[in-house]
Amino acid sequence: MDKERSIWDELTAAGLTPAGAAGLMGNLYAESGLRPDDLQDCYEGRLGMTDAEYTERVDRGVYTDFARDGAGYGLCQWTYWSRKEALLDYAKAAGKSIGDLGMQLGFLLEELSEGYEAVLATLETTASVREASDAVLLQFERPADQSEAAKARRAGYGQRFYDKYAGPAPQAGTAAGKVLDVARAELGVKESPANSNRVKYNTWYYGRAVSGAAYPWCMAFVQWAFDKAGEALPYKTASCSGLLGWYRSKRPDCVAETPRPGDIVIYDFGHTG
């Protein structure tokens, strides 16, 4: 598997939305070209070491000034001494090279969860590559250049990753775009207080007030969202397997293994979204 795909899979598996993963990757690309052993260019001359030499000497313990030398390093170009020290401790605890890709991704996600909660919350919920990219640039990376041009450039890098791995975002006014607009407006609806979502979506679906665990709401929500967008589904059912079975039988051309934004996802454990 190629490096870009490995990073994408790791970030999305950790709970980042496709737009969130893309926005983060665009910033990492701007910082390091997605090279986990990347030593800040101007320090190669100052320290007299290439990327590989610096990494190897840090790993062997021959070079002991890693945390305090002021050189940007790795995917994020970690620079501040306490963050570099924490990265080195994390690598040692994992028994990995300081330039190991998987180790750095693990450390990055830990940093986000423990010190940059607002940034992580954005990356886990946003449907906008630009919003994700700006959050990382302004609140996590914080480079010297935070101009509009820098924001646009980094978001553009992120959009390339999004288009490559998630597919182009649905355009406003298309069927998928309208459904996503409806669904996005429902962000924040939860299972608590009890039955709040079941009442809203199931009352529409069944045509009467219903509540309780006997009435799963996930497929009702999907049906509701398409209907409200003016794109009512051709087969009305509260069953995830029932809808999948209908499409496999009647419209197999619509069934695919890799979902795109606006698609209905049927999970093998009996859930949908």
DSSP lists the bridge partners of residue 78 as: 73
Average pLDDT value for residue range 161-189: 79
Q: How far apart are the first and last CA of the chain?
A: 28
Which tokens in the block code for residue 250? 């009647």
Of 16-25, 40-49, 147-156, 254-263, which range is least confident? 254-263
- Give the position of tokens 């701007």: 30
Q: Which element (helix H / strand E) includes 87?
A: helix 81-94
Which amino acid, one-letter code, is at 187?
L
Separation of alpha carbons 89 and 183, rounded Å: 42
Q: For 123-137, what is each residue's pLDDT tens digit?
A: 999 989 999 999 999
Separation of alpha carbons 5 and 21, rounded Å: 11
Burial 98-128 (b: 16+ CB within 10 A, else e): bbbbebbbbbbbebbeeebeebbebbebbbb
Separation of alpha carbons 205 and 237, rounded Å: 9
Task: Considering only residues 196 and 273, tell me which one the structure prediction assigns the higher pLDDT.
Answer: 273
Alpha-helical segments (H) within 95-140: 101-115, 117-125, 129-136
- Per-domain residue ranges for the chain? 3-165, 175-272
For residue 45, pLDDT beyond 90: yes
Which amino acid, one-letter code, is at 162?
Y
Of 7-21, 107-121, 216-230, which range is least confident? 216-230
| CATH fold of the domain at 3-165 | Lysozyme (1.10.530)
Q: For 50-108, what is each residue's pLDDT tens digit?
A: 999 999 999 999 999 999 999 999 999 999 999 999 999 999 999 999 999 999 999 99
Instruction: Give the SS3 label for residue 78.
Output: strand
Separation of alpha carbons 129 and 142, rounded Å: 18
The whole-model pTM stands at 0.65
Is 225 exposed, middle or buried (CB count within 10 Å of its CB: 0-12, 13-18, 19+)? Answer: buried
Q: Which element (helix H / strand E) includes 4?
A: helix 3-13
